[in-house]
């Protein structure tokens, strides 16, 4: 039903020693998108500068005086919603505060803070604070749907540290709703609908069933969320969380968001164990009335934010369009499983 294609071949070279070496390269085809990625195993032998251990915090990590997201300045330095969207100006959920993005990416663009911690190292956020921030995003998106029923293309994202595109250190999520789909939303809308029409089943549930049967990339569960390493990663150490049978925000419960936060922290602690400090997160929604696309979150580690660290994107990714990673997803899953056995839990 879903093709998991992989091809291994060898590049034959003459080493400086005079010995012949055959360097393995694997090309995998993404079962969802059809895009290819390359696993260049030999590059894993390289010593990557700045990734020997978790780097020190950025030199400006304690500079709260200039941060508009710290509570002492938040009221004066951040915008408010117009009354027709939210009469109170900003949305509060537990320790989280949500308000419009001063530099919006779409018609409805907001920022959801965790709490008043200015800098939080990867994997060390409070579980309750993460859940509050996710729930605040959910509440905001539901409010937008009641305000503008055409703004059905929605997303929650996170950029942790400048290496992942983050402009401010203070932990936050970005949340967006628009009438016009982004490229990934447009593709997934078509792909999920076509799969349902052809097979009568949902795309991500079928993907998940095949992966759980194979077992090699399966990691574990947090509540109803099912976690696995991506078969054909489009970023380093890419991990997915899939929420089977849930295709709309309207059907999510508070427990779904709490256990999502738990799984995200598990992934972060796995990344931390690799000496990595930056990552991106993405969770897309289609609130168009269709019932085809289940919720899926993706996390990808990024190059460390530290002096003289090499970027994780090269000319191969930018100009050829193929992700070139160094480690097998099966190895990612095997190492990550430990972080599902000892993880923070809601009481």
Rounded Cα–Cα distance for residues 83 and 143 (Å):
12
Q: What is the pLDDT of residue 23?
A: 93
Please give the average per-residue pLDDT across 251-280, as a whole number. Answer: 97
* Cβ–Cβ < 8 Å for 115, 173: no
What mean pLDDT, rounded, does the chain reach?
Answer: 94
Asked whether residue 61 carries a pLDDT value surpassing 60, the answer given is yes
Taken in order of first residue, the domains within the chain and their CATH numbers are: 67-311+328-341 (3.30.428.10)
Helices 329-336 and 254-273 pack at an angle, to 10 degrees, of 110
* Least-confidence region, from 43-57, 109-123, 244-258, 320-334: 43-57
Please give the average per-residue pLDDT across 18-38, as a whole number. Answer: 96
pTM for this entry: 0.95
Rounded Cα–Cα distance for residues 293 and 246 (Å):
8
Question: What tokens does 123 get?
Answer: 């994997």
Sign of the alpha-carbon dihedral angle for 226, 227, 230, 233: positive
Q: What angle do CA 41, 212, 259 make, to 5 degrees?
A: 100
For residue range 276-330, list pLDDT tens digits in order.
999 999 999 999 999 999 999 999 999 999 887 888 888 888 888 999 999 999 9
Rounded Cα–Cα distance for residues 93 and 97 (Å):
7
């Amino acid at each position: 039903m879903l093709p998991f294609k992989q091809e291994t071949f060898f590049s034959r070279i003459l080493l400086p020693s005079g010995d012949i070496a055959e360097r393995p390269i694997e090309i995998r085809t993404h079962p969802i998108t059809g895009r290819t990625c390359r696993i260049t195993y030999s590059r894993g032998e390289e010593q990557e500068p700045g990734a020997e251990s978790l780097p020190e915090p950025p030199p400006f990590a304690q500079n709260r005086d200039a941060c508009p997201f710290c509570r002492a300045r938040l009221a004066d330095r951040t915008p408010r919603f117009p009354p027709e969207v939210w009469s109170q100006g900003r949305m509060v959920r537990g320790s989280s505060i949500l308000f419009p993005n001063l530099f919006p990416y779409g018609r409805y663009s907001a920022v959801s803070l965790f709490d008043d911690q200015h800098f939080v190292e990867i994997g060390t956020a409070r579980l309750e604070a993460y859940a509050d921030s996710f729930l605040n995003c959910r509440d905001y998106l539901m409010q937008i749907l009641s305000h503008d029923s055409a703004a059905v293309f929605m997303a929650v994202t996170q950029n942790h540290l400048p290496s992942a595109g983050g402009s401010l250190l203070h932990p936050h999520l970005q949340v967006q709703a628009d009438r016009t789909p982004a490229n990934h939303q447009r593709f997934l809308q078509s792909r999920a609908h076509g799969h349902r029409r052809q097979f009568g089943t949902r795309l991500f549930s079928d993907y998940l069933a095949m992966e759980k049967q194979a077992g090699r990339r399966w990691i574990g569960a947090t509540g109803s969320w099912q976690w696995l390493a991506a078969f054909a990663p489009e970023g380093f150490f890419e991990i997915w969380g899939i929420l089977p049978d849930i295709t709309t925000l309207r059907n999510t419960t508070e427990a779904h968001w709490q256990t999502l936060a738990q799984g995200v922290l598990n992934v972060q602690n796995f990344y931390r164990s690799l000496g990595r400090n930056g990552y991106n997160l993405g969770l897309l929604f289609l609130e168009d009335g269709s019932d085809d696309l289940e919720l899926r979150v993706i996390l990808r580690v990024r190059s460390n934010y530290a002096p003289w660290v090499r970027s994780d994107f090269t000319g191969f990714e930018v100009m050829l369009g193929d992700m070139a990673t160094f480690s097998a997803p099966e190895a990612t899953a095997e190492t990550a499983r430990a972080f599902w056995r000892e993880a923070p839990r809601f009481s």
